[in-house]
Amino acid sequence: MAGLGAAAILVAALVAWNALRPIEIAPVQVIASSFSEGTPPEIPWPDQGQAAVGAAVGGQGSGVLAASPNATPQPTGSVAKVMTALVVLEERPLRVGEQGPTILVTEQDVQDYRQMLAQGQSVVPVVAGEVLTEYQALQGLLLPSANNFALMLARWASGSLQQHLDRMSAEARRLGMTQTAFADASGFSPQTRSTPSDLIRLGEAAMRNPVIAQIVDQPEAVLPVAGVVYNVNAVLGQDGIVGIKTGNTPEAGGCYLFAATDRLDDGREILLFGAVQGMETLRDAFVAAEALLRVMRLTLEIRHIVHHYQVVGYYQAPWGASTDVIATRDVDLALWPGAAVSVTLHARPISPPAARGTTVGSLHLVVGGASYDVPVVTVRTVPGPSIPARLTRVSW
């Protein structure tokens, strides 16, 4: 009898454990594919230098669509000032229409200006006691390409040049710019280096900042001491070009990070990006940019990769409960014909009861050099199993 009592206790314990142990349902993937359509176009890469191109639709960048073969890190020239401006605005944010806090020009700033002028660097005159707004300083940095403004802004925004360089490097890592190094804030140093693909990533990030996008599209500005200063981007406004930054030093040659607008048939705007490095002259960089833009306008396609409410997976419980998993937004990307697109569902197991609309993971897209994660949610509530089902379950 004692043995039967012990067995009954053991059975009761097992039944209770079976009823109470956790339940998880693994997702089933519906979308998991890699596909490409069409034949890639012939791209007019510059013979002498190196280049890359990208595009963005509705703020969604397609990353690097293509890059010239065997690109290596090379000096960027003043294109580096785009990262300087981006970090300044991260440290001291501005909204469009704001001038921001003031910057007092010091004797040290004047000495830096004189030293850079003597070295033949690109500078804008300043005097001790001059007061610039943050917005004006950014205009001086990005339009006439003042190296002295790069140093002044770096110290003002971050406390020291080295701290600003550290923040520039951290931002480069965040953007996936794995082949970029910053030795100064202006790009005058030949040790400030990058590749066209990395510069495309920088350009996309910069143009998502409305203050930078506004400034680089300005032909001129007025500063307190220097007066009228002009944008050194000589092809601004031509062929839809709205920025971004030129560079030109003996070591870097002619460099150009550019963005240009185009209009889709449905009225949406597409932003075309390109980066050219290592040309003999800046004029050569402009010519190379024009050739790349021409091909992009003729061959880029807008592809509807994912649509809102698209079923991308589902959960199926052993006791009969189930729910589809859907994408929460559209994804339209500008792509070359032949561009490879990889789509994978990254969803976690769920523990019922799970409410309708529960975010369970994301749809992970990889397109060229860019990746995107679209949140996915459940369509229906997933109830837990009944008590009898819990008591009698074996494998779940």
Rounded Cα distance between 241 and 202, Å, is 17
Does residue 347 carry a pLDDT above 80? yes
Rounded Cα distance between 378 and 361, Å, is 10
Which is more confident, 370 or 318?
318
Q: What is the pLDDT of residue 369?
A: 65
Residue 150: closest CA among 119, 197, 113, 178: 113
Residue 65: closest CA among 286, 374, 370, 372: 370
Mean pLDDT score, 314-336 = 91
Structure tokens at 201: 């990533």
206 and 82 Cβ atoms separated by less than 8 Å: yes
> For a pLDDT cut of 70, what percent of the chain falls above it?
93
Please tell me the least confidently modeled range out of 53-67, 89-103, 112-126, 185-199: 53-67
Q: What is the pLDDT of residue 334?
A: 83
Instruction: Quickly list DSSP for 19-63.
Output: HHS---B-EEES-EEEE--S-PPP----SSSEEEEEEEETTEEEE
Q: How many Cβ atoms are within 10 Å of 249's Cβ, its own excluded?
A: 21
Does residue 370 carry a pLDDT above 80? no
For 132-162, what is each residue's pLDDT tens digit? 999 999 999 999 999 999 999 999 999 999 9
Q: What is the pLDDT of residue 286?
A: 98
- pLDDT-derived band at 31 (thresholds 50, 70, 90) equals confident
- pLDDT-derived band at 4 (thresholds 50, 70, 90) equals low
- pLDDT-derived band at 367 (thresholds 50, 70, 90) equals confident
Q: What is the pLDDT of residue 130?
A: 98
For 56-108, what is each residue's pLDDT tens digit? 887 777 678 889 999 999 999 999 999 999 999 999 999 999 999 999 999 99
Q: What is the pLDDT of residue 58?
A: 75
Mean pLDDT score, 180-200 = 98
This prediction's pTM: 0.84
> What b/e sequence results for 206-228 when a residue is b if at least 16 CB atoms lie within 10 Å of its CB, and e otherwise?
bbebebbbbbbbbeebebeebee
Does residue 368 carry a pLDDT above 80? no
- pLDDT-derived band at 388 (thresholds 50, 70, 90) equals confident
Task: Please provide the average confidence, as pLDDT, over all residues in the chain.
Answer: 91
CA dihedral 286, 292, 293, 298 (to 10 degrees): 150
Please tell me the least confidently modeled range out of 107-121, 162-176, 254-268, 277-291: 254-268
State how far the alpha carbon of 262 is from the alpha carbons of 13, 219, 300, 312, in Å: 70, 20, 11, 32
The structural domains of the chain, ordered by start, are 22-37+305-392 (2.60.410), 50-301 (3.40.710.10)
143 and 218 Cβ atoms separated by less than 8 Å: yes
- pLDDT-derived band at 301 (thresholds 50, 70, 90) equals confident
Q: What is the pLDDT of residue 156?
A: 98
Most confident of 1-15, 63-77, 187-201: 187-201
Please tell me the least confidently modeled range out of 30-34, 104-108, 112-116, 267-271: 30-34
For 218-276, what is each residue's pLDDT tens digit? 999 999 999 999 999 999 999 999 999 999 999 999 999 999 999 877 777 899 999 99
Quote the DSSP letter at residue 180: -
Most confident of 45-59, 159-173, 311-325: 159-173
- pLDDT-derived band at 18 (thresholds 50, 70, 90) equals low
Residue 137: closest CA among 193, 81, 205: 81
